[in-house]
Amino acid sequence: MSTKEIWFETLHNGFGQFFSIDKTLYHDKTEHQDLIIFENEVMGRVMALDGVIQTTERDEFIYHEMMAHVPIIAHGRAKRILIIGGGDGGMLREVCRHQSVEQITMVEIDANVVEFCREYLPNHSAGAYEDPRFNLVIEDGVNFVNQTDMKFDVIISDCTDPIGPGESLFTSDFYQGCARCLNENGIFVAQNGVCFLQQDEAVSSNNKLSSYFEDVSFYQAAIPTYYGGIMTFVWASQNALLRQHDLSILQERVSKSGIRCRYYNPAIHAGSFALPQYLQDALSQ
């Protein structure tokens, strides 16, 4: 019997997940992180950075749809989008589906992630890198948001976990910079970990963002790859009404966008802001 190589991910001592590696497509150190892309019989092609699973072909749509469409539909008139990170191209693909969006800037620290995901995860970007509205900046996201004179309607921080280069994207310096770069009625969202296992990430983001935004909240979705339960996405804006639209408004906007998703829909959008009591209690400490 062939004994396949096993990839273990233990984000939390003593509790993790594993993937059998059917074929390694790429594995090397980039300027910033260790990058591997391999094939798995259940989840398709899988990409990990510094030993942490980032995305899989099979369930990436849940994460990318929820981080792109919830803020853009909630905003209602988003024309200028900033993606921080997002090197695999899945977030860009979903943002590009909005014809009302006029300009998309992606600030990714590691050019090699873009290069090798374009080659080995082509279904993630699905041609979005050729979109004429798209502009790629290879830079640390925290430097960009603190130095640029550009303004955005939605900022999506599609970053790694707060280890290695991703650490700077969970700091007050970064959040202050994002608040500075947002237009009136602008919305900031970021992946904020699996709250059952990484609750301290949500509490920390909530406290730091509250210094720069009037309204900080969370929404959630269950994505199998990010094991341990629901993933929380932090949400920040200066106007709480932006996350409190009636279902009928969401339905009207989604219909007008002409976008049909595999996970996201107006009811999921509205319901995703409902949070477990243990997280609400931790956030109100």
Quick one: which segment of 18-26, 158-166, 239-247, 271-279 binds ligand SAM (CB under 6 A)? 158-166
Nearer to ligand SAM, 82 or 109 (CB): 109
Least distance (Å) from ligand SAM to the CB of residue 255?
Answer: 28
Nearer to ligand SAM, 90 or 266 (CB): 90
Question: Contact 218/194 with Cβ under 8 angstroms?
Answer: no
Quick one: which segment of 6-14, 16-24, 69-77, 82-90 binds ligand SAM (CB under 6 A)? 82-90
Which string of x and - marks every residue 100-139 that binds ligand SAM (by CB under 6 A)?
Answer: -------xxxx--x--------------------------
d(CA 1, CA 143): 51
Q: Could you say which of 103, 168, 204, 210 contacts ligand SAM (CB under 6 A)? A: 168
191 touches ligand SAM by CB under 6 A: yes
Least distance (Å) from ligand SAM to the CB of residue 47?
Answer: 7
Least distance (Å) from ligand SAM to the CB of residue 94?
Answer: 12
Question: Contact 37/123 with Cβ under 8 angstroms?
Answer: no
87 touches ligand SAM by CB under 6 A: yes
Residues in contact with 13: Cβ distance below 8 Å, sequence separation at least 6, in sequence order: none
193 touches ligand SAM by CB under 6 A: no
Hey, what's the torsion of the CAs at 207, 209, 211, 214, to 10 degrees? -110
Tokens standing for 67?
């981080």
66 touches ligand SAM by CB under 6 A: no
Q: Is 173 a catalytic residue?
A: no
Which entry of 88, 110, 158, 161 is annotated as an active-site residue? 158
Question: Contact 39/23 with Cβ under 8 angstroms?
Answer: yes
54 touches ligand SAM by CB under 6 A: yes
d(CA 49, CA 86): 12
d(CA 143, CA 264): 32
Question: Contact 87/110 with Cβ under 8 angstroms?
Answer: yes
Beta bridge partners of 7: 19
Q: Which of 181, 153, 165, 188 is nearest to 67 (CA)?
A: 188
Enumerate binding residues for ligand SAM (CB under 6 A): 54-55, 63, 84-88, 107-110, 113, 140-141, 158-160, 165-166, 168-169, 191
